[in-house]
Amino acid sequence: MLRIRSTMIIVTTLSALSATVFAVDIFSADQALIHSGQTQFEKNCTSCHNAEATGKMDKKNGVTIAPDLTQIAKKNDGIFPMWQIYDVIYGKKAGAAHQARKMPIWGDELVKSRSVNKESREAIVRGRILAIIAYLSTIQAK
């Protein structure tokens, strides 16, 4: 019984580890994508989330201005929940508009060029968000 249990623990640990490695691995091959994501992040996100992505507090009243984005994987059993984070950044998921959301809806914000058609704009936005996610996945606390 004990043996079965410890085997199960090892299997669970190994699958959690491989999931983490996998999540980071799919992006680590593409340094250009990660770099582009970092540039986007520095341009659009650091005002609230801080240059190191570690979040900001309002020191006067101890309220969080924006959360620490390096702890996302840690808070989720070591797995970076890529599509969940994608939805948060994209921001147009049903319901989001009804929440007291302070975070900007980047699905609208990340496209400034009006010279392309709607379909192309959508593709540009999604590419930009994926790049930001690639970057965020590389700065997760262990």
Residue 102 or 114 with smaller CB distance to ligand HEC? 102
Interhelix angle 82-90/118-138, nearest 10 degrees: 130
DSSP 8-state class, residue 80:
-
Q: How far is the CB of 75 from ligand HEC (least distance, A)?
A: 7
Q: How far is the CB of 66 from ligand HEC (least distance, A)?
A: 4
Residue with tokens 């340094």: 31
The residue ranges that bind ligand HEC (CB under 6 A) are 41, 44-45, 47-49, 66-67, 69, 72, 85, 88-89, 101-104, 106, 132
Instruction: State the virtual CA torsion across 109, 112, 116, 118 in degrees, nearest 10.
Output: 20
Residue 69 or 134 with smaller CB distance to ligand HEC? 69
Residue 103 or 124 with smaller CB distance to ligand HEC? 103
Please give the full DSSP string across 66-100, using - where no structure is assigned: E--TTSHHHHTTT---HHHHHHHHH--STTGGGS-
Q: How far is the CB of 86 from ligand HEC (least distance, A)?
A: 9
Residue 44 or 54 with smaller CB distance to ligand HEC? 44
Q: In this structure, which amino acid lies at residue 141? A: A
